[in-house]
Amino acid sequence: MSLSPIPRGVYPSVTALDPKVLRARGITLVLADLDNTLVPYKVTQPSPEVTAWKQALEQEGIQLFILSNSRKPGRAQQLAQALGVPFQGHSGKPKRGGYLRAMERMGRKPSETVMVGDQIFTDVLGANRAGVTPILVEPIRLAGNPGRYLRYAAETPFRLLGRRRRFL
């Protein structure tokens, strides 16, 4: 387990992650953050592109699982139902427990799991702590919350280092 905040690559979006390449790397479970990773904040339905990506994952034998810190009642559940995937809200990222519970529930090991998210200090740090490969994607939308700009600025050095450590 590592306390590293450095991801294994930075990609433009979840749909830029090729399911065939993930499978070739031995991945059978993709844990994905919800807000600003799969959909923008407050959006309750997946885009056609995200739905097609989820279907492409399934064709490769890869399960998608929503791992969210969202505390909004029903938010993670609603999107998970729309995609037809399992979910876990209130995950407590970056604590290891949420990651470990999700993998146990799906019968997977860290070596066959990646975590895809948009935040260094929750998604990436937590994945590294749980022994899961962390993959960072660019946030879908930063607008609307000044705190997001500050967080993004603080994450910049780690994002730059992550661009040099590509997983795919």
Count CA atoms closer than 13 A to 31's CA, side-chain side: 36
Residue 143: what pLDDT? Answer: 66
Top-level CATH class of 10-163?
alpha beta
Residue 150: what pLDDT? Answer: 83
Domain ranges of the chain: 10-163
Q: Is 124 helix (H, G, I), strand (E, B) or coil?
A: helix
- Write down the pTM of the prediction: 0.94
Which tokens is 100 given?
Answer: 């470990």
Q: List the pLDDT tens digit at each of the 168 positions of the chain.
A: 678 999 999 999 999 999 999 999 999 999 999 999 999 988 889 999 999 999 999 999 999 999 999 887 788 999 999 999 999 999 999 999 999 999 999 999 999 999 999 999 999 999 999 999 999 999 998 766 777 778 888 899 899 899 999 887
Residue 168: what pLDDT? Answer: 79
Q: Which of 104, 135, 97 is nearest to 18 (CA)?
A: 135
Report the C-alpha dihedral over residues 100, 103, 108, 110, rounded to 10 degrees: -50
Which tokens is 115 given?
Answer: 């975590």
